[in-house]
Structure 1
Amino acid sequence: MNADDSLTDDDAVGRALSGDLVAYEALVSRYTPIAHRTAFLLGAGDEAEDVVQEAFVKAYRHLRSFRRESPFRPWLLRIVANETHNVTRSRGRRADLSVRLEGVREPYTPEDPQDAAAAGDRSARLLAAVRSLPDREREAVVCRYFLQLSESETAEILGCPIGSVKSRTHRGLRRLREEVDRELL
């Protein structure tokens, strides 16, 4: 572990504001994985790396406007979400939503190839169902369940009240349940 890993977000932001690029690099290193997952899951697809890079550049440029009493992660992910929205809007179509499991292991790996195929098929169907949700519901479900963000972090990232996050998540999960029920019939 290097010395930059021990910096708190607040210390790193403070040092970055004073011109310490190594401190900002610590933030970039710390938050690149979740920023990439956020961009990818919100629809950036193959452009996720570009979105993340642009988000970190914008975050650095606007670091002086960051409220130091607030957590850095939701502020950064809001920038990532906005950049993703800009990319998908400029494309004129919604990007294909896929889960990137880079470096993540499943808690259960089936020994039987038939079980593995069935698990892969279930994952693909779930992703297709999530992909088919209306944008607002998809974004809320992705933030809450794929990125495991709290309701308040999701609200901050999506720029909406917590009540909207709750209702969008509820509606999205209801639609997913209905889709699963239809498939079982």
Structure 2
Amino acid sequence: MSRRHDSDAAGMRHQRASRLAAGPLAALLLSGCILYEDRDDRDGRQMSPGAVREVPLRVVEQGGQSLAFVPVSVEGEGPFMFALDTGASSSVVDDDVADRAGLDRTGEHRSVSGILGTGQVPVARVEQWKVGDVPIGPGEVTVIDLGPPRGSGGIQGLLGSDVLRGFGSITVDYDDGVLKVGAP
């Protein structure tokens, strides 16, 4: 067999395998999109498992990069604009926000690293907070000076994977400006 014939045969096998996998894969993907929302907790009632809540999302394009911001209330203060950061293992609150919300530092310090270096930062406990109108369970945040607000308000915190994983799944809809989260 020639190299070209081997390549064509391999391509046909790959296309056939792709078509065979496409049906079950599509069914799997679509099954994850079927959600049941029996009740809405805006009335104080519990939401059904699998229900989805929507949070307003503001997308800021700057220098060829996109940042997605959501409103986060901390201990009844705010809302503050937090960037979604699925790459951050720990959520972060700007030190001004922590002071305004009256967050008590735990005395613990965590090591953090980023593009500017590595350092030890204080940890604070948050008892009541929510993204949009969706409650987040109590937890800890690192407290960092995120710098002065710039332009349209700047970053007042980062909502990291420690919080986002609590929703089970999230969808960032950049076109419609919505963060969709599973009911906690």
TM-score range, shorter chain: under 0.3
Structure with more of its chain in strand, by fraction: 2
Structure 1-normalised TM-score?
0.22
TM-score (norm 2): 0.22
More helix by share: 1
Structure of higher CA gyration radius: 2
